[in-house]
């Protein structure tokens, strides 16, 4: 018996395939050969089945080559506590406790300006009659033996670059004997004067007691803030605390504790945040410290001491400023 059986015609091979295949329905094409209607019905049914099969294949491949991305996203927002906000008026006080030392520092600054730039000292740049804050129960520090150090002075320095002599302004800081001096130069003479003045000023302010009460002399919040709203509601007197910064002046911190439900943030957007209309008035109590007009702002955590020098920023007057906070 041969391994390969050849058929006499294509019809014989087709009949053998239909009788031995496992595909249901094909046997009907052979067995119902005498009934043409039945044969036509099963032929149509078979072709329709193949058509549906290839149609499903077409749908699957078209969906695959379309590279669909199925993404399910759910958002859940929980109320958060609004951070603490500190604002300062950039107008430090002149405390009567150290008024004599501040006036002496002003005279030294005038002499330095005359020495460096030839400015006439008769046209006084500093107003010694400005408002001073008197602290009751404390005597003036003029009898304490404190004196301003003359070992830290401004001077004009010369240096040679590319064969040319260039003049720069800086300062020298020496020890008590006048030796072992440290020199620092600045590209801007104003920067050198400000750094020199701030050094002496902080040395003077260090003579004040650690805790002093200026509550009777503090400016009212209404003098600095025309309007204060949070989430559309007006701010309350209990929403802020006042303190004085030796460089940035009178400061107010809103929501310092972070425990009041009033400061709960439930919605994003400008209408639901803190909205302030501020009055930026420059009185120049200490001109070489308040060289910027406007307000100093810092956004920080609750129960945190605001380091305004390093983390704060200035807002100039006459404009609307929007600050976005992201956590």
The pLDDT tens digits for 194-246 are 888 888 888 888 777 765 555 554 555 567 888 899 998 999 888 888 888 88
pLDDT band at residue 270 under the 50/70/90 scheme = confident
Report the candidate in 81, 73, 74 with the shortest Cα–Cα distance to residue 325: 81
Q: Is 240 helix (H, G, I), strand (E, B) or coil?
A: strand
| Lowest-confidence segment of 151-155, 171-175, 192-196, 276-280 by average pLDDT | 151-155
Q: Supply the DSSP string of 119-176, one letter for each residue.
A: --TTS--S-TTS-EE--TT---GGGTT----SSEEEEEEEEEETTEEEEEEEEEE--T
pLDDT band at residue 21 under the 50/70/90 scheme = confident
Please give the mean pLDDT across all residues of the chain. 77
Q: Which position has the higher pLDDT, 5 or 323?
A: 323
What digits encode the pLDDT tens for the residues 107-133?
A: 888 877 777 777 665 445 555 445 555
Q: What is the mean pLDDT of residues 151-172?
A: 72
Q: Is 233 helix (H, G, I), strand (E, B) or coil?
A: strand
Beta partners for 95?
133
Of 36-45, 96-105, 302-311, highest mean pLDDT: 302-311
Q: Is the pLDDT of residue 286 over 80?
A: no
What digits encode the pLDDT tens for the residues 250-269?
A: 889 999 998 999 999 888 88
pLDDT at 24: 66
Assign a CATH topology to domain 80-93+217-315.
Acid-sensing ion channels like fold (2.60.470)
pLDDT at 149: 66
- Cα gap 309→316, rounded to integer Å: 17
Task: Assess contact for 192 and 172: CB atoms under 8 A.
Answer: no
pLDDT at 83: 93
pLDDT band at residue 38 under the 50/70/90 scheme = confident
pLDDT at 1: 47
Q: Is the pLDDT of residue 178 over 80?
A: no
| Lowest-confidence segment of 76-80, 237-241, 265-269, 314-318 by average pLDDT | 76-80
- Cα gap 192→158, rounded to integer Å: 15
pLDDT at 119: 66
pLDDT band at residue 54 under the 50/70/90 scheme = very high
- Cα gap 260→253, rounded to integer Å: 14
- Alpha-carbon radius of gyration of the chain: 43
DSSP state at residue 238: G
- Cα gap 252→222, rounded to integer Å: 12
Residues 6+ apart with CB under 8 A from 297: 85, 86, 87, 88, 312, 313, 314, 315, 323
DSSP state at residue 321: -
| Lowest-confidence segment of 68-77, 99-108, 115-124, 310-319 by average pLDDT | 115-124
Domains in the chain: boundaries: 10-65, 80-93+217-315, 94-205
């Amino acid at each position: 018996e041969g391994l390969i059986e050849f058929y006499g015609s294509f019809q014989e091979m087709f009949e053998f395939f239909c009788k031995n295949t496992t595909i249901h329905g094909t046997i009907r094409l052979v067995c119902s050969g005498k009934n043409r209607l039945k044969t036509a019905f099963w032929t149509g049914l078979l072709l329709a089945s193949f058509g549906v099969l290839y149609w499903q294949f077409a749908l699957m491949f078209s969906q695959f080559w379309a590279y669909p991305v199925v993404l399910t996203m759910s958002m859940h927002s929980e109320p958060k506590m609004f951070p603490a906000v500190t604002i300062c008026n950039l107008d430090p006080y002149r405390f009567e406790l150290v008024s004599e030392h501040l006036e002496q520092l002003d005279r030294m600054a005038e002499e330095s300006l005359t020495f460096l730039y030839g400015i006439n000292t008769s046209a006084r740049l500093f107003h010694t009659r400005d408002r001073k804050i008197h602290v009751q129960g404390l005597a003036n520090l003029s009898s304490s033996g404190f004196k301003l150090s003359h070992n830290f002075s401004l001077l004009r320095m010369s240096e040679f670059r590319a064969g040319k002599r260039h003049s720069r302004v800086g300062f020298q800081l020496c020890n008590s004997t006048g030796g072992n001096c440290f020199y620092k130069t600045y590209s801007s003479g104003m920067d050198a004067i400000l750094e020199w003045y701030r050094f002496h000023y902080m040395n003077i302010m260090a003579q004040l007691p650690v805790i002093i009460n200026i509550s009777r002399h503090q400016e009212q919040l209404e003098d600095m803030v025309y309007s204060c709203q949070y989430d559309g509601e007006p701010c309350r007197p209990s929403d802020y605390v006042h303190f004085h910064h030796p460089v940035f002046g009178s400061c107010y911190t809103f929501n310092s504790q972070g425990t009041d439900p009033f400061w709960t943030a439930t919605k994003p957007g400008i209408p639901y945040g803190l909205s302030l209309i501020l009055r930026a008035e420059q009185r120049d109590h200490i001109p070489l410290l308040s060289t910027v007009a406007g307000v100093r702002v810092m956004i920080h955590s609750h129960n945190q001491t605001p380091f305004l020098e390093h983390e704060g920023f200035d807002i100039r007057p006459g404009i609307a400023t929007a600050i976005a906070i992201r956590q």
